[in-house]
Amino acid sequence: MDEQPVQLLKGVRQKEALVFSDKIRLDWEAINQADFERSRAAIDTLLLEIAQLSDPATYPAACVVSPIVERARGLDQSLLSKLPQQALGDVQRDQIGKIQTFVQNAQHDRQQAIAAFEERQLVEWSDFFDTFESNPLTPEQRKSIVADEDATLILAGAGSGKTSVITAKAGYLLKSGARKPEEVLLLAFASAAAKEMSERIEEKCGEPLEARTFHSLAYDIIGTVEGSKPALAAHATDDKAYLALIRDILKALVKTASEVSKSIVGWFSYTRLDEKSEWDFKKKHSYYTYIEKLDLRTLQGEQVKSFEELMIANWLYENGIEYEYEPDYEHKVSEGGYRDYCPDFRLISSGIYIEHFGVRRSKSADGTYRLTTAPFVDREEYLAGMEWKRGVHAEHETTLIETFGYEREDGRLLDALAEKIAPFETVNPRSLETLFDRVVELNQADSFVQLLGTFLKHYKGGGYQLGECANKGRTLKLGKRASAFLSIFEPVYSEYQTLLNGRIDFEDMILRATKYAETNEYHSPFKHILVDEFQDISRSRGRLVKALKAQHSDARIFAVGDDWQSIYRFAGSDINLMRNFGGEFGGEFDGKSGVHCTVDLGRTFRSIDQIAHAAKRFVLQNPAQLNKTVIPAGTSEKPALKVILTIKADENSKLSQVLHSLRKTAKQEKQTSVLLLGRYRHLAPSNLSQLRRDFPDLDISFRTIHASKGLEADHVVILNMFRGRTGFPSEIVDDPLLSLVSPKAEPFENAEERRVMYVALTRARKSVTLMGSASKQSAFITELMDDPEYGAVGAQQQEEYNHTCGECGGHLVPVPTKGGRTWYRCEHASLCGHSLNACAACGAGLPIRNAKTGLSKCSCGAEYPSCPSCEDGWLVEKRGRYGPFLSCVSYPRCNGKAKIAKLKS
């Protein structure tokens, strides 16, 4: 009262003024206290709820505490903060203080409440945690089970017991009375996993709880809303039938002879390929690697050496012009030791030759044009070769048609070809149907059908639109290839939808169920949604989960997964849903969104320290992966990560040696399991049955790495790790076109393949052996060998195989001969063709040059003078017309030579 302004009542006696003042004060206090008492019920409820947070009976999740905070804040703003403290009694002031303090410290108070609840639950349920499995659950597993935030993410690394966690969580919810069985939804991706979890819950807890797959749940939702379940398309559960349907749709479209049919045949002619050329590469080896990856096979069946040659060959075939590819020239003109002259094409009917020259034109300041070559091509040498070929045809009076790289650059290569050929050949175009049959006959249609089928599922499941895909293609700079593909996909998709004829596929199933959940046409009973293998969730499935959660204010999501094992992007999984778990599924509290809880299980019950730590280090090279603790199952003094380099000729014998070594270290009292892993199915050893007979004390099995998820073995052998299209890391994991209907591509190179490698490594308990190519070395093996932190051993024994081709920069592959000797050829056999004989002294090694000494030395100790004219040759003694001399071992490809006397002086 002392701080209030003083009002003077003039003409009033002091005694009367004081009486009046007291009366006003009492009335004022009575009014404020009455206001306080009118909210007594709300205030008492708030005070009780705040008090209960010190010892909460249920987990104080954001969805539980947030309404309390909002009511407290609202009451404070509308009443409590407006009440003068002087007008209230001590008890009332104390109560207001508790509410206001809670509003100011809500985050802190909730965290304390969570800690108190978890501490008590861990004690109360210790018997349950001790006996749920044959071994007591770990502290991390127990923490993950009692955690019950709006959204809880359990990071379950390989071998960390995720199935135990998710089944124990379900049992805990039921046995504690937190939820009724009908309020718990347990979701798995595969019916086998769902069945296993259902059985384990009933066995361990005595409570029946059916785990469901996403599709069975969605089908039930549709049946509930519509009164009956629509018929499922026959191909929905049969991948072969699905792809056969796509192929039949393509055939039907080709028969219409429309623009679509031209686009389909055009796809196989050349639009299916990236629009790169020699000019996009600085090194010959990089260009050759790219060309080999594309597999430039013509409609006639031969493999050509450039994209432009493919365009020419397929135009000739489509127009009924018979040709030979790289035939021997009709006159003997080879000289200087080079191979016989083979022009690019010869037209059989007219005998005309075609040479395609990979040159472009650049305009000079004076208006003239200068021919240029690719960065890795010697321009003067190439132009000289062009003139030599022209001279040969002029000398022997054969007709040569020339085409040029700049014609393709100008977009008129095929038009120019047609004009040049017209005087000599009459075109007789093959029908589009015939051409498509040819494509099928060459097995070129299968990969396209697979691409269309995968694209269709992603497109439909993600709710994409064609315009959206076209815009994305321009943003990603996928060029004409993307627009050509979409021009085919649009009618294929339209026909596919027509052929469904009222039936539904799995994409329809998820989308329709989600719509019913979002519009509340379906009333969800589920208040706890438990999701297994969360790293594999797709956008459409994630949307269904969110729609179900949104129907109850206190619903929770409990997700178990490992982003390090997310290897199903090709099937629509979106790793970003896990990486942004809080933003996607989290709750709101005290003005903050994305509220969630993450528990790292950490401990692995499978792999020893050397494997577990190496696998972690390997996968975390990608900084986008979530970091987590790894506690190995045990330790070992012996190296557990071994690299064996092989050549084609010794793959089987090296594998037998590995198995023999594993048998020697195996314990006699127990059969040792050995899991052979391949990136693809066709990598299974052809002699697998024989290996099982040869090593009866080893339990040998083969799986693809994808099919091995969830499995484990004492020892793992990863087969055929080489660099290439179907190597490991695979170069065909994702066609760039799938980016049009897929989550944002990961910028880290081989991001998904790195996770595939992590899965392979973590199948092993005791050791991993990587069988790598000595010549086309896998990037993953190179990384493991180069970084000593991985602890990989064994590969250094075969360093002599790691030789570089002096012609193109590729690798030289050792090729054993029947006589027991070795020769080396470039890995790009058909494009480069460079080869070297082995050291004459030992017949196996390859001399390596030393720039300082000018000598080339073999691992056997033999030394030779290095060739002065080429990159990797050495000089050997030969006898000529004028006596002995030194000549390059690569003669006649290389004419390097020296006089013996000069070198001795």
Binding site, by residue number, is 156-163
Is there a contact between 846 and 889 (Cβ–Cβ < 8 Å)? Answer: no
* Residue 206 neighbours by CB distance under 10 Å: 10
Report the interhelical angle of 239-255 vs 259-266 (nearest 10°). 120
**By three-state DSSP, how is residue 168 classified?**
helix
Q: Which residues pair with 856 in a beta bridge?
A: 849, 864
- Residue 724: what are its φ and ψ, rounded to 5°? 165, 180
Alpha-carbon distance of 584 to 564, in angstroms, equals: 19
Cα 537 versus chain centre, distance: 14
Closest listed residue to residue 435, CA positions, set 298, 307, 302, 274: 298
Residues 281-294 as b/e (b if ≥16 CB within 10 A, e otherwise) read: beebbebbbbbbee
Q: How many CA atoms lie within 13 A of 362 on its CB side?
A: 6
Element holding 803 (H helix, E strand): strand 803-804
**Torsion-angle region of residue 734: left (phi > 0), alpha (psi -120 to 50) or beta?**
beta
Is there a contact between 513 and 218 (Cβ–Cβ < 8 Å)? Answer: yes
Alpha-carbon distance of 142 to 165, in angstroms, equals: 8
CA dihedral of residues 660, 665, 671, 673 (deg, nearest 10): -70
Single-letter amino acid, residue 546: K
Cα 858 versus chain centre, distance: 42
Is there a contact between 123 and 570 (Cβ–Cβ < 8 Å)? Answer: no
The residue whose two tokens read 């052979």 is 676
Residues 6+ apart with CB under 8 A from 470: 482, 483, 486
Alpha-carbon distance of 605 to 607, in angstroms, equals: 7
Alpha-carbon distance of 887 to 877, in angstroms, equals: 6
Closest listed residue to residue 230, CA positions, set 240, 239, 220: 220
Which tokens sit at 345? 């094409």
**Torsion-angle region of residue 659: left (phi > 0), alpha (psi -120 to 50) or beta?**
alpha
Q: Which spans in 178-275 are helix H?
A: 191-205, 214-226, 239-255, 259-266
Is there a contact between 325 and 344 (Cβ–Cβ < 8 Å)? Answer: yes
Residues 6+ apart with CB under 8 A from 750: 729, 779
Alpha-carbon distance of 336 to 894, in angstroms, equals: 10
- Residues belonging to the binding site for ATP are 156-163
Q: How many CA atoms lie within 13 A of 21 on its CB side?
A: 13
Is there a contact between 779 and 750 (Cβ–Cβ < 8 Å)? Answer: yes
Which DSSP state fits 279?
A: G
* Residue 330 neighbours by CB distance under 10 Å: 13
Rg of the Cα atoms in the chain: 37
Residue 904: burial class (beta carbons within 10 Å; 0-12, 13-18, 19+): exposed
Cα 331 versus chain centre, distance: 53
Which tokens sit at 27? 């009335």
Which tokens sit at 62? 């954001």
Alpha-carbon distance of 408 to 270, in angstroms, equals: 12
